[in-house]
Structure 1
Amino acid sequence: MAVVSATATACGPSATPAGGGSGGGKHATIGLVLPQGDKYFQGIQEGLEAAAHKDGNTVVVVNTNNDASTEATQVQNLVQRGVSAIVMQPATASAGSIATMKSIGAAKIPLICFGNCTDDAASKNIVKGVVQSDNTALGTGTGQEAAKYIKEKLGGKAVIGLLNCDSFEVCKLRKAGFKQALSAAGVRVTYAADQEGFLADKASPIATNMLSSNKSINMLWSANEGGTLGEIAAVQNSGRAIPVFGTDISDQLAQDLLNGNNILQATTGQDAGKTAAKAYEQAVRAIAGQANAPFSVGVPGITYTRSNPDSVNTYLGK
Structure 2
Amino acid sequence: MNHAKRRTLAVVVTAAVLAVTAACGGRVGENGRIGVVYLNAEGYYAGVERGLRATLGEEGRGPQLLQTNIQSDPARESSFISTMSSAKADALIVSPASATASVPAMRLAKESGVPVICYNTCVEDEQARKYVRAFVLGSPEEFGRVSGEQMADHFLRAGRRAPQVGIINCEQFEVCVQRRKGFERALKEKVPGARIVASQQGLQMDEAVERAQQLLTAHPDLDAFYGEAGSQTLGAVRAVETRGRIGETAVFGGDMSVEAAKKLQDGRVLKGVADISGIKVGRLAGEVARAVLAGNPPAGFIVPAPVDRYLGAQDGARWLREHPDGIP
**TM-score, normalised relative to structure 1:** 0.78
Q: Is the 8 A contact 1:232 1:263 kept in 2?
A: yes
For the pair 1:30 / 2:30, whether they are aligned, the reply is no
How far apart, in 2, do the equivalents of 1:164 and 1:92 lie? 18
Offset at residue 310 of structure 1 (A): 2.9
Equivalent position of 1:59 in the other structure: 64
Offset at residue 53 of structure 1 (A): 1.0
Identity of aligned residues (%): 23
How far apart, in 1, do the equivalents of 2:80 and 2:126 lie? 18
- Of the three residues 137, 142, 149, the one matched with 1:144 is 149
Secondary structure of the structure 2 residue equivalent to 1:125: helix
Summarize the Cα distance change of 1:206–1:168 in structure 2 as closer, same or farther, 3 Å threshold. farther
For the pair 1:200 / 2:208, whether they are aligned, the reply is yes
Instruction: Give the AA of the match of 1:202.
Output: E
How far apart, in 1, do the equivalents of 2:173 and 2:114 lie? 30
Equivalent position of 2:76 in the other structure: 70
Offset at residue 156 of structure 1 (A): 6.5
**TM-score, normalised relative to structure 2:** 0.76
How far apart, in 2, do the equivalents of 1:122 and 1:278 lie? 22
Q: Deviations over 1:199-223 (max 9, x none)?
A: 32322322322442xx3x4333232
How far apart, in 2, do the equivalents of 1:301 and 1:194 lie? 26
Offset at residue 48 of structure 1 (A): 0.7
Summarize the Cα distance change of 1:192–1:228 in structure 2 as closer, same or farther, 3 Å threshold. same
Gaps of at least 5 residues in structure 1 are 5-9, 16-25
Larger radius of gyration: 1
Length, aligned pairs only: 296
How far apart, in 2, do the equivalents of 1:175 and 1:27 lie? 42
- Of the three residues 251, 258, 283, the one matched with 2:258 is 251
Comparing 264-273 and 165-174, the one that deviates more: 165-174
- Of the three residues 210, 225, 229, the one matched with 2:234 is 229
Gaps of at least 5 residues in structure 2 are 1-9, 14-20
Higher RCO (CA < 8 A, seq sep 6+): 2
For the pair 1:39 / 2:43, whether they are aligned, the reply is yes
How far apart, in 1, do the equivalents of 2:239 and 2:275 lie? 21
Offset at residue 293 of structure 1 (A): 1.4
- Of the three residues 5, 12, 30, the one matched with 1:3 is 12
Q: Is the 8 A contact 1:138 1:269 kept in 2?
A: yes
**Aligned CA-pair RMSD:** 3.3
Equivalent position of 2:118 in the other structure: 113
Offset at residue 41 of structure 1 (A): 1.1
